[in-house]
Amino acid sequence: MLLGILGSGSGSNMQAILDAIDAGTLDARIALVLSDNPQAFILERARRRGIDTGIIDCRGFRTKFPEEAQQETAERLLAAGVDLVCLAGFLRLVKRPLLDAFPQRILNIHPALLPAFPGLEAWKQALDAGVPETGATVHFVDEGMDTGPVILQQRVPVLPGDTAESLHARIQIAEHRLYPEAIARVAAGPAHGGA
Q: What is the pLDDT of residue 141?
A: 97
Strands ordered across the beta sheet of 2-7: 52-55, 29-35, 2-7, 84-87, 106-110, 133-140, 150-157
Residue 115: cis peptide before it, omega within 30 degrees of 0: yes
Q: Is the pTM of this model over 0.75?
A: yes
Q: Three-state DSSP class for 137?
A: strand
Query: Whole-angstrom Cα distance, residue 127 to residue 97?
Result: 36
Instruction: Return the percent helix, strand and coil in the chain, to nearest 5.
Output: 35, 20, 40
pLDDT digits (tens, 9 = 90+) for 67-81: 999 999 999 999 999
Q: Exactly one of 110, 139, 168, 176 is catalytic; which is it?
A: 110
Q: Tell me, what amino acid is at 67?
A: E
Give CATH for domain 2-115+137-154+179-192.
Answer: 3.40.50.170
Q: What is the pLDDT of residue 189?
A: 84
The residues of the chain scoring below 70 in pLDDT are: 191-195
Nearest to 168 by CA among 1, 10, 4, 5: 10
Residue pair 65/95 in contact (Cβ under 8 Å)? The answer is yes
Write down the domain spans for the chain: 2-115+137-154+179-192
Q: Where are the alpha helices (DSSP H) in the chain?
A: 12-23, 41-48, 67-79, 98-101, 122-129, 164-188
Backbone torsions φ then ψ of 33, nearest 5 degrees: -125, 125
Q: What is the pLDDT of residue 191?
A: 55
192 is a catalytic site residue = no
